[in-house]
Amino acid sequence: MFIFSSASILLASIGIVLAVTSFISGLQLVRATSASIEGMIHRANGYLTVILFIILTFIAISSSMINIAAVALPLTGLAVFLVKLWIVRRHKRFLKYVSWMGGTLILVWLLIFYINIPI
């Protein structure tokens, strides 16, 4: 059986790649003095991440599986992403926790990947 036979595992794989590149570009943005290509990559990764979380949630809801983790993990990842965005936009004193939230997003994507692996 081919490993990428399921759309959700393919999307989760893309999500892992996006989370890692977003984490790296975000750390480079902290050090940069001006917005550069890393800023554009980071913003594009953010938009694609939100889209993937929403698609995976709809796939989990529309499938006949009764797997709570398949629905809860994308919603948890979306919540972590929105909290991270809220911190960056509103509260400058909490910026030191944004990298921790980026690491948490990588872990959420790994869990989503693990949940969607066909057994």
User: Where is pLDDT greater, at 119 or 1?
Assistant: 119
More confident residue, 109 or 30: 109
Residue 69: CB partners within 8 Å, gap ≥ 6?
111, 115
Contacts 24+ apart (CB under 8 A), 4-7: 5/118, 6/116, 6/118, 7/59
Q: Is the pLDDT of residue 3 over 50?
A: no
**Residue bearing the bigger pLDDT, 3 or 47:** 47
SS3 35: coil
Dist. CA 86–CA 49, nearest whole Å: 16
Between the alpha carbon of residue 94 and those of residues 61, 68, 83, 101, the distances in Å are 34, 31, 11, 11
